[in-house]
Structure 1
């Protein structure tokens, strides 16, 4: 019988990054074990994808998942993950034929649907790039929150907040959003609001749809 236990020491093991929202928002909604296995396989493949790719093809996911959970489990789990929008899907031309491809967030899906590559879309201090580099993959659940923050806070603030979170070993969007909210309400460095952010704009973010992420 195969030993399925983890090794006593994980030293030297490579870790696969998963966004915090996967544990706090996605897992509570996943009720089927097949769906959970498909989602974990998807993130594993996406983590190891080489080059500027933001999606996994149906063939890639099928080839990896079927030996793990069987063909029936794969198809039922994938349907559930797409229905719950944990995984987003799009039909795309791959080497001259249409194939379903899967994304972890709406931003990547929108770029692919417009024919924009991640390399073309990359921008310095982009909040999405900062999140992926310092926290992990962006899910549909957190993409809208990042978009709202990018509208409210200066790009320099956002980059510095990510750096502070990394230095404090607090790699979560919740922690970073609290840094930004504190700077907006109390002032940053000089105690005054920097040019580019209005008090009303910060309050709108704090009290609005995503206010639960930046509680005082």
Structure 2
């Protein structure tokens, strides 16, 4: 699987300290530790309120991190624990146990993180994921159609999101991917154009003889056609 590049438009940003690139990353020689460190920095930036921290349970339930660490250990859980141990040993993260001893808590080794750890150790602050009012940082894995849209068209808007959800319920992933591919090949980065391709396939079938939406992967895509003339495509772009 390849990355097709960052889309145009405004994208969400993650603030990172320059010291991360000039001092910390050059020291990290383990891929799992590097990926986990960057992922935790991203999670912490999405938190709301203070103190900001992540728990082992939170990380082990993070499907994005699990995919990122796939193949680095026997299981994602083992990869996460090994990476956290290295990050703590390096001094990037601080590791605490909750008062109950059930929650493994990780803070960034920053002035704020060190103050939080000190207060927790003195009993002045209780760190427990069940008692802190912090906005969850881990998003659910989004359907592939949203990824395709942002990678190939641009920033997702709420009204478009509803249409994408409906399309995902209606058409197979293969049809959706093929429709996006045809649009990009013809330089028509417009959702209405893609939607009309899908609608025409559903109504008239595809050139390969497919008349249902359960087209199997690996089929012959060479017979797919553009479906619209350049004049029709311009009309969709202008709408």
Q: Name the TM tier (shorter chain).
A: 0.3 to 0.5
Give 1 or 2 for the bigger CA radius of gyration: 2
TM-score (norm 2): 0.43
More helix by share: 1
Structure-1-length-normalised TM-score: 0.47
